[in-house]
């Protein structure tokens, strides 16, 4: 062993996440990163290999945080369907402290050209994982008798995700604030509307 690193890697990634999430991959320059991370190019490259490498690690952190937040919401909810609705409803509270109201994964997919498949594929994989988690949630709701046996969890998951994509892109607009809560409520109500009344009767 010898000289230890002067930084905490997680902290660095968190700082980079702020920047990348807000400005996007391409618009974030090494100069921006040097300033935000308070690191010189050599250190950055020694730690992450490249700008793309740093972004990739950042994207992983974002995805992990997202899936964890969803899992917590589900765990805290009284039922799977209630958890899914709560997740949707939570999007209504726009957090101005966050670097961006839009989803970083979506931003990445939209800005990634076809000739840079690495980041694109990574973002898409994370998106697919989240959608799978949604599908698991709907499946659990189905097994719990909350929604009809004929319902298609995979389809419901894709519908939820596309609506979340839309809500968060919409929320990115200036002065979108007031409308966002109402739109989140619409999504939540749609989920709750799937509730099978047989459950209460049976």
Instruction: Show the tokens assigned to 68.
Output: 């964890």
Whole-Å CA distances, 149 to 59, 145, 152, 192, 196: 36, 8, 8, 16, 9
Residue 122: CB minimum distance to a copy of itself, A? 12
Whole-Å CA distances, 48 to 13, 84, 108, 122, 162: 10, 36, 19, 17, 33
Among 111, 136, 192, 199, interactor with a copy of itself by CB under 8 A? 111
If the CB atoms of residues 46 and 68 are measured against DNA, the closer one turns out to be 46
Only one of the segments 43-51, 58-66, 110-118, 138-146 lies at the binding site for a copy of itself (rule: CB under 8 A); that segment is 110-118
Residue 35 binds which of a copy of itself, DNA, none (CB < 5-8 A, kind-dependent): none
Q: How many CB atoms lie within 10 A of CB 98?
A: 12
Only one of the segments 35-43, 60-68, 133-141, 163-171 lies at the binding site for a copy of itself (rule: CB under 8 A); that segment is 163-171
Is 18 near a copy of itself (CB under 8 A)?
no
The interface with DNA within residues 15-34 (CB under 7 A) comprises 28-31
Is 8 near DNA (CB under 7 A)?
no
CA–CA separation, 70 and 132 (whole Å): 12
């Amino acid at each position: 062993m010898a000289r230890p690193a002067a930084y905490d890697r997680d902290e660095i990634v968190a700082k980079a996440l702020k920047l990348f999430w807000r400005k996007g991959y391409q618009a974030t320059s090494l100069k921006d990163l040097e300033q935000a991370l308070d690191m010189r190019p050599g250190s950055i490259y020694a730690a992450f290999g490249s700008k793309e490498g740093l972004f990739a690690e950042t994207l992983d952190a974002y995805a992990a945080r997202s899936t964890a937040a969803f899992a917590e919401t589900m765990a805290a909810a009284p039922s799977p369907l209630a958890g899914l609705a709560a997740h949707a409803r939570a999007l209504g509270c726009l957090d101005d402290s966050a670097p961006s109201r839009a989803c970083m994964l979506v931003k990445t997919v939209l800005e990634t050209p076809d000739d840079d498949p690495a980041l694109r594929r990574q973002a898409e994989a994370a998106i697919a994982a989240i959608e799978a988690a949604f599908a698991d949630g709907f499946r659990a709701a189905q097994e719990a008798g909350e929604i009809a046996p004929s319902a298609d969890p995979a389809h419901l998951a894709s519908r939820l995700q596309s609506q979340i994509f839309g809500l968060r892109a919409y929320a990115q607009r200036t002065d979108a604030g007031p409308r966002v809560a109402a739109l989140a409520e619409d999504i939540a109500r749609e989920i709750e509307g799937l509730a099978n009344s047989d459950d209460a009767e049976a």
